[in-house]
Each structure stands twice: as C-alpha cells, then as structure tokens.
Structure 1
C-alpha cells in the first residue's frame, strides 16, 4: 500500500487534487445529467398539457378535426370506444376500455402503442383527462424515442466532456501546485547548500506575506540564532584551549626540569610543587567548565535545604576575609531560603575573588527580604565593571582590565555565579555605583518557608576562578 502512495509532497497533493477533482466533476456532471433529464421530462409533460388544452377546447366546440390533425391523440366515449383518432395512429388505440374508465382526472403515465404489421410496440408518454361531464376521455401521446435520443445525446456529450474536463483541471492543478511549491524547492536547495563553513549565509526571502514567506523568515531567524550559538561555542572552544594551553605547557616544563634534575632532590621537589599548582589550576578549570556544561544541559544538581542567607553570608565573609585581601562585612535580618549552602558559598567566593582581582580592598554584603524573595547585594570599592563589560560580564571567559587578567583567572567566575543562581530559580544583576562606588552584584532568590535552618556543614573554603 505504501508503494502506491508517492513519496513527494507535490505528487501526493497532485494525486489528492486529481482524485478529489474527478469525484467532484463526476458528481457535478451526474447531477447535471439528472437535472437535464428532469427538465426534458418536464418539457414533454408541458407539451402534452398544452396540446391537451387545445384539443379539449376544440372537442367542447364539437370540432373533432383537431383530434384527427394532432400527431398522436385519441378521444374515447364513456364506454371506452374511440370516437376520434389522429391520422398517424388510425386503427390502433392508446388506452384500453378499462384504462379509459379509470381516468377521473388529468393523469400522466407511460404506455405503448400496439405494433403495426412490422415493428414492435412503441413506448409513449401519455396524458389522459376527462372532457367535461360528458364521460368522454381525451388522451394525447408523444413517442419516448425522441426523448431517449435527446437523453442519449446529453449522455454522450457528458461522457466526452468529463475526461477532458478532468484532464484540464488536473493539468491546471499541477501547474498551480508547481507554482505554489516552487519557494519550498528553492528553500530546500539553498538550505542544503548552507554549511558550517558559511554560517552567515541565509535563505532567500520569499515575497509576500503567506505561509511560505513566514516560513522563510522563521528559518532565517533560526539560522541567525544558530550562527550566534555556533560562534559562541567556537569562541568557547578557542578560549578553553587557550586557558588549558598555558598550565599544560608549564606542567610539561616543570616535569622536564624534574627529570633533568633527578640527582638534585631540592630541584625536583621545587618542580613538583610548581607542577602541583598547575594541576590544581587545571582541576579548578575542569570543575568550572563541568558546572557550566551541566547548567546549560539542565542537569546542575542543587540540593535544597533551609538556609539562613544572612548567617551564611556572615560566616562566609569571615572566612573569605582571611584568605583574600578584602575586608568583608555582612549585614541583614534573618532571610530563610531553600538553597544549596555549598553552592551559595561558591557564589560568595567567586564574587570575592572577582572583587580582589579588580583591586578592591573592601566589600559589603547586605541581605534583605520581602514576602516573595531574599535579596543579597555584594558591593565593593573597586573601579567597578568597565562600561563595555556590563552586558557581557556573565559570558564565559570574559575578563575586565589587565589587573583582572593578571590574577590568572579564566573568566568563568561570574558565569558560574549566574549558573548557580539560575539553578536556584533566582536572578542576578550587575551595576556600578553606591554604596561603595565600585561593582555591585545583586542576587535574588525565592524566599523559603520560615523555620529553623539546618546546621551548615562548612567545607574548607577554596579559591574560585573570577
């Protein structure tokens, strides 16, 4: 069955159009034939009725010559015997006496004319009616052979016209389908020609405002988005390769030095310590990239437990002050949230590393709440974000000035901050200005249910890439 159905959409539409058109044409012409046949019968009956009226009027004036001159008429007496007969059927009767006596009103019917010496009975269309109160009956007739010939001619004409009309409509439908689907073929060829080597290439615009024009515009919009995503992914791969190249080169150099100084334990130890630092840097970069990849894939694991955001900020501020060059103060009222304490500490650690890399000396954490959300604001007294960086600071491998780059960070800190906050169904915003005149990062998280937060398990703080 599937082999009988064309694979091409154009062929399927043409098939459906052809079959549908054929059925409609056949139905329409069949109805036309029935209407014409009915009209022909009605015309015959009208002719019989007109002749009957004329003959009845003549009979009432005792003019039987009108009956003799009619093509096919007969006047009967009350007993059913013919009184006057048309010359063309002299010697034969249209009705039997029993049929004559059964006529009480104007009646149409079909009958036959008895045969002559040669030939068979002739089919007739009859109209019989009483003539006044005299008991006489007048019958007029018309041979059905003429009607049958007219019907046959109509049928022959329709039989010839039907296939020609179907073929003409099918050809017209094919041309219409070809013209209508031409933009689809062009879009298909152009789309097949687009490759990753020319991501800026677009599909041709389809004139008008129909479905195909909107499809072309939609596909071009999709290609634009894919091009942007492709460029971002390519930039990400380039940046990741650049970040990995330096520690790997240093690690290789230190290993070579250790192998060259195998007889000098102090030199070997110094090289291994330096190599260990590069391994830590590589591990940190791999963990950050893995976190961002999981966030993008929607598989970032966030363990939600009741946490007091103010308590966590105050305890983490004390820890971060000891391991960074920042003086960090934390303020706020109790702010319960359902969140992952370890991830939130990672957010604060990345913000502290980012501020320290920018040259800030003081940072302030302020926590406020309302009925729907908890708000954590991190502010420092550094130079703030460069004006051109505010819109792209959350992108991966984005750095600010040379001071930030000199710290050796990979530019993933704020990307990780946004990933973690988004994983908590929150939002994060950047700006410069009050309260300390430098960078300001505002984190908003859904407020948790009031209650006693679970005791925090404080992991040893670790550095995070800015």
Structure 2
C-alpha cells in the first residue's frame, strides 16, 4: 500500500470511509424504518382490537385480504364467538387465553394457519368478559425492508464508485501544485539563479512547502557558488606557482652534474608538476562549466581531419602498448564546434581508453538525430553497472582507475564540453567500453561562448593543455 501513489492512497482511504459511512447509514435507516413499521403495525392492531370489542364482532377487526389479517372474539372458556379473516382454527392457545382473560396483554409473532408469512398477534380482554385476538401478517413489512436493503445494495456500490472518482479528482487537483513543483525541480540547475519552484495561489500547506524548498534551493545555490568560486580561484592561482616550480626544476635538470638519486627525484618532481598543472586546468574547466561560463569559440571543422589529428597525437603512445587507434568517419563530414574544447573532450576519451581499455581504439562518427554522434570505444570489459550511473560526476573513478594516475575529472569535462555545445555525453550500454558525444547541427553553444575575451590564443591554449586528457 505504501508503494502506491499518494492520490491512489487518498482515493482508497476516501472509498473505505465512504463504505463505512454508507454501511452505517444503511444500518441506521434499516433499523429506524423497521422500528417505525413495527410501531405502526402494533398501533393498528390495538385500534382493531378496540373496534372488535366495541362492536362485539370479529368482522370489525379484520383488515386487508384474508391472507394478511384476521380477528377473533372468544369467551374466557375458549368458545369461539366470531372469526373473520383467513385464519383456520383458534388463534390463541389455552395458556394464552387464560393469560389474556386474566387481564394480560399478549403480543407475539408466529405463523398462523391460513395467514401468509409470520403474523403478529395481539390479544386482550374486555374488562373480564370476552377476549379479542387480532393479527396481521408481517409480509408487507418484510417486503418493504427487503426493498430498502436491495436499494442500498445496488445504490451503495454505485455511490462508492462515483465518490471514489470524485475523490480521485479532488486528490489530483490538490496534488497538482506538488506535481508542478516536482517537474520544475527536475529542471532546476544550481548554477542558475532564476530557477524557482512554482507556488500555488492558495496560502496553504503546499505553498509553505514550496516556499521552504525554494529557501533550501537558495542556500544550496549560495553554497554551490561559493564552492565554484573557490575551485576556480584556487585553480587559477595554482597555475602560476606550479609553472614557476616546474621551470626551476627543469633548469636544475639542464644544469646537470646531479647524483642519480637527485636526478631521479627532480624528474619525478617535474612529472608531479605536470600532473598538478593538469589538475588545476581541469578544475578550472569544470568550475567554469558549472557556472555556465565555459569559454567557447565555435567554428566549422572538418571532422575527419580532426579525428586524424587526434589519432596521430596518441599513435606513439598506443604503439608502445602494442595497441592501435583507428578512425571510422566519412570524408566531408562537418561539425560546428570549438576545436580546442572538442579536441580536449575526444582526447580525454582516447586517453581513458588507452589507460584502462584493451585492444583497438576506434574513433567513430556518424550523422544521427539532427546532429552528429562521436564515439570512442575499445575492446575492454566496459563500465561496471554501479559506476556507469555516476561516471560523469566529478572525481568519479572506477576500481581500476583507483590503482593508476588520474584525477577523475576526465569524463566530467567531456560532459561539460558536450553540454557547452548544446549536446550531451553518455555511456553506450554493451560489452565494449563506448562513450558517445552527440552534438547538434549548427551553432548551438552555451551562454559562455561570448566570454572568450581575454582568453589566450588557441595555439597557446593547446600547448598549455599538454595532451588535455585526464581520466
């Protein structure tokens, strides 16, 4: 029951309550009607008995046809003086006759010969003289009660169904603001300051809930912005001292004359400087993308030429590992994108394939769904199911990646660059490890595309990225 939607549970509760109300109301009506009919029937028997005694004739107390009622006038010794109606024989037993003759009023229900159904019998004396016995069949009363029960049996379920439909509609209408807030919440981006949950006009509990959630979004947005600014500022400030340290270390290496252990330490330090510089650059890209400020300069590119350049860039590294890189793309394919960023995204994917994959790496492109699909795949085992859902998160790393160098920002940068072009990045399910980037046709870049002013030239940035690949 707890797994059902709220509106269904509310409707079910409303239906159960309606059933209980109808059952209680029906029982009350049934008992009240039965009581009223019994009182009316008993009052009628008293009136007929009085008529018989006053007229000293049983015919004065007969009512309805012969199968429904009767009247008898008897002496205290049991002699039947007069009888009217369909009854056969005497209505009173000897004990009942003695009790009635003694002044006791007899009121019983039982079957009488010649009378249809159960009969209500009333007997009393006339101040110590004769005894009158009148009776009336209960068939009409029972038929009336049966009709009432049948009406409730037919109308009750119909009323419950109609009430349930009404309850479902009311529940749906009441929850419509909640559904609107849910749909809007799926679209909320912490990087945008304009995203708010819609509030209903009524000042009720749902509006207060929406106001509380909007306040929570504001707090999260402020926290996210502080984190983004810190990462961007820290990444920016780290690049200069790291570059200075690396230059000093490289100068010391060029000077020569070091012991082997010292030279090995200097080489290791230079490599760590490269790693730290790449981390700072990646963090800056992610921070700018999170704030919608990733610089973009889209232009028309020959896709086959671009993929060939990436293949040549990683060819030596692949050969050292006994692997190969192949381009599967048609000539003449054109994409409208930022060359630097697209090379960085594809370079990240190829680097990941060489680090963690197996066999041949394939760079594939094809035109699909009003856009262009770019895929990088290898012959490895693919992504673990538990990792695939979070592969594009920042610092997400699989079990194998934890044992090797890397920052866990590579796929996050791939997604940021794809989204900056108005596209998307996704993992393709299957046995092989395949990541797909979809880019739309035409210039559809993110809002950060106009913020390129002040950025270093394209050739300088390509040199700074130094391969632009982080897993």
Paired residue for 2:32? 35
- In structure 2, what is the Cα distance between the partners aligned to 1:74 and 1:40? 23
Paired residue for 2:200? 206
- In structure 1, what is the Cα distance between the partners aligned to 2:52 and 2:113? 23
Deviation of residue 185 (structure 1)?
Answer: 0.9
> Is residue 163 from structure 1 mapped to residue 162 from structure 2 by the alignment?
no
- In structure 1, what is the Cα distance between the partners aligned to 2:258 and 2:140? 129
Paired residue for 1:13? 10
Paired residue for 1:224? 218
> Is residue 111 from structure 1 mapped to residue 124 from structure 2 by the alignment?
no
- The structure 1 residue matched to 2:127, chosen from 121, 127, 132, is 132
- In structure 2, what is the Cα distance between the partners aligned to 1:251 and 1:10? 64
Paired residue for 1:351? none
Deviations 1:191-221 (A, max 9, x none): 0111344354110112222111110000000
- In structure 1, what is the Cα distance between the partners aligned to 2:3 and 2:80? 72
- The structure 1 residue matched to 2:180, chosen from 171, 181, 186, is 186
Deviations 1:303-339 (A, max 9, x none): xxxxxxxxxxxxxxxxxxxxxxxxxxxxxxxxxxxxx
> Is residue 142 from structure 1 mapped to residue 163 from structure 2 by the alignment?
no
Deviations 1:371-427 (A, max 9, x none): xxxxxxxxxxxxxxxxxxxxxxxxxxxxxxxxxxxxxxxxxxxxxxxxxxxxxxxxx
- In structure 2, what is the Cα distance between the partners aligned to 1:196 and 1:68? 95
Stretch of structure 1 that moved more, 77-86 or 90-99: 90-99
Paired residue for 2:382? none
Deviation of residue 49 (structure 1)?
Answer: 2.2
Classify the secondary structure of the residue corresponding to 1:99. Answer: helix
Deviation of residue 189 (structure 1)?
Answer: 0.6
Paired residue for 2:99? 102
- The structure 1 residue matched to 2:80, chosen from 79, 82, 85, is 82
Paired residue for 1:240? 234
Classify the secondary structure of the residue corresponding to 1:102. Answer: helix
Max Rg structure: 1
- In structure 2, what is the Cα distance between the partners aligned to 1:154 and 1:231? 70
Tell me, yes or no, if the aligned pair for 1:68 and 1:84 is still in contact at 8 Å: no
Pick closer, same or farther for the CA change 1:198–1:112 going to 2, 3 Å: same
Tell me, yes or no, if the aligned pair for 2:71 and 2:135 is still in contact at 8 Å: yes
Runs of 5+ in structure 1 lacking a partner? Answer: 283-466
Pick closer, same or farther for the CA change 1:90–1:125 going to 2, 3 Å: closer
CA-atom RMSD, angstroms? 3.0
- In structure 2, what is the Cα distance between the partners aligned to 1:146 and 1:227? 77
- In structure 2, what is the Cα distance between the partners aligned to 1:130 and 1:264? 141
Deviation of residue 85 (structure 1)?
Answer: 1.9
- In structure 1, what is the Cα distance between the partners aligned to 2:117 and 2:16? 43
Deviation of residue 12 (structure 1)?
Answer: 2.1
Please give the residue correspondences for 1:257-272 in structure 2 after superposition, counting only pairs within 5 Å. 257-262=251-256
Q: TM-score, normalised by structure 2?
A: 0.50
Deviation of residue 121 (structure 1)?
Answer: 6.3
- In structure 1, what is the Cα distance between the partners aligned to 2:16 and 2:87? 56
Deviation of residue 146 (structure 1)?
Answer: 1.6
Tell me, yes or no, if the aligned pair for 2:116 and 2:139 is still in contact at 8 Å: no
- In structure 1, what is the Cα distance between the partners aligned to 2:51 and 2:60? 13
Pick closer, same or farther for the CA change 1:144–1:213 going to 2, 3 Å: same
- In structure 2, what is the Cα distance between the partners aligned to 1:162 and 1:82? 51
Tell me, yes or no, if the aligned pair for 2:123 and 2:131 is still in contact at 8 Å: yes
- In structure 1, what is the Cα distance between the partners aligned to 2:45 and 2:73? 15
Runs of 5+ in structure 2 lacking a partner? Answer: 64-69, 277-471
Tell me, yes or no, if the aligned pair for 2:109 and 2:121 is still in contact at 8 Å: yes
Pick closer, same or farther for the CA change 1:121–1:9 going to 2, 3 Å: closer
Tell me, yes or no, if the aligned pair for 2:48 and 2:61 is still in contact at 8 Å: no
Deviation of residue 183 (structure 1)?
Answer: 1.1
Tell me, yes or no, if the aligned pair for 2:58 and 2:83 is still in contact at 8 Å: no
Q: TM-score, normalised by structure 1?
A: 0.50
In the alignment of these two chains, the number of paired residues is 258
Deviation of residue 156 (structure 1)?
Answer: 1.7
Stretch of structure 1 that moved more, 179-188 or 35-44: 35-44
